[in-house]
Amino acid sequence: MRKYIAGIFLITIILASIGITAYGYAKFNSILISSPDFVQEKYIVIKFPNSTYVVLSQNEYIEARLKGWKPPEGSIGYIITLSYNPKSPPDFVLEKRYEEFTIVVGSPEVKTCSKNPDEFKGSCTERTLAVSEVTLLVSTLFKRYFYAEAIARGLSNESAKMYAYEETMKRRNIRYLSLLVKAQVGLGLIGNEKHLGVIIMGPAEGANETSIIIPREGLIILKGKSDSSLRAEAILLENLVGLQFS
């Protein structure tokens, strides 16, 4: 009888786990769609022939063109829609103190870039650059928190830098967009007030628009029609918090 009860209990736990995972997965898909209540802004990020970037709001771009300015020949422009929950503006979400962060670099298909890049649906080079840009941005923000904390505790400049680096690395997670990760995001285990989540989705993940969506505190979704546009989106986020790496 005890074995029977234990078996029923185990089955119940398994079914409950499957149900929770399925619920989280379903919630993830709804998060990918911008709500009508969200604030929407348009930006143009231009990559110049020398590989430097400039970020302009839609109004700034229109005003510049009306004054006769135009990008140098060979420039590439990316029109990006920034959509965010009015309770979670991008600068607040990026600069807030978190306990850890997870960067979801794309679907498991991204792994093919290390062995068979020709099989990847997109550009392995551009995806790598986009991931590096996002990682640099988030790591820099985290280091800034811990550097200030160390200085306040009386550490020297060099010791504070080392402390900030070590604390940031302890809190850094790199994941692929698996079923489990989708469920964790949907359930709010990744992308919340204590755990910053940044999800990167390009052609390999079925992205059909170039946009940044911030549906809630601690969660940022980058969607790009091309992998190069994903890097442009990361550069836009840098610009919004006053940083520039490219």
Considering the domain boundaries, does residue 62 fall inside one?
no
Q: Output the pLDDT for position 244.
A: 82
At position 131, the amino acid (one-letter code) is V
DSSP class of residue 113? Answer: G
Q: Are strands 76-84 and 172-175 parallel, antiparallel or unpaired?
A: unpaired
Q: β-strand 195-201 against 100-104: which pairing, if any?
A: parallel
Q: Which of 188, 233, 174, 230 is nearest to 30 (CA)?
A: 188
Instruction: Tell me whether residue 69 is in a domain.
Output: no
Residue 16: inside a domain: yes
pTM value?
0.88
Flag whether 54 is in a domain. Answer: no
For 134, what's the count of Cα atoms within 13 Å in the CB-facing half-sphere?
Answer: 34
Residue 16, C-beta contacts closer than 8 angstroms, at least 6 positions apart: none
Contact predicate 121/106, CB 8 Å: no
Q: Is residue 125 part of a domain?
A: yes
The answer to whether position 166 is within a domain reads: yes
Question: Helix (H, G, I), strand (E, B), or coil: what is residue 100?
Answer: strand
In a domain, 45, yes or no: no
Residue 138 φ then ψ, to 5°: -65, -40
- Give domain status of residue 21, yes or no: yes
Instruction: Compute φ and ψ for 11, nearest 5 degrees.
Output: -60, -40
Spans of the chain, pLDDT less than 70 = 1-25, 246
Burial 46-74 (b: 16+ CB within 10 A, else e): bbeeeeebbbbeeeebeeeeeeeeebeee
Give the model confidence (pLDDT) of 16-63 as tens digits.
Answer: 444 545 655 677 888 888 888 999 999 999 999 999 999 999 999 999
Q: pLDDT value at position 86?
A: 95
Q: What is the domain count for the chain?
A: 1
Beta-carbon contacts of 154 under 8 Å, excluding residues fewer than 6 positions away, are none
* pLDDT tens figures, 154-170: 999 999 999 999 999 99
Supply the pLDDT for residue 53: 96
Predicted pLDDT of residue 34: 85
Domain holding 26, by residue range, is: 2-35+85-240
Instruction: Name the one residue in this structure whose structure tokens are 């029923």.
Output: 8
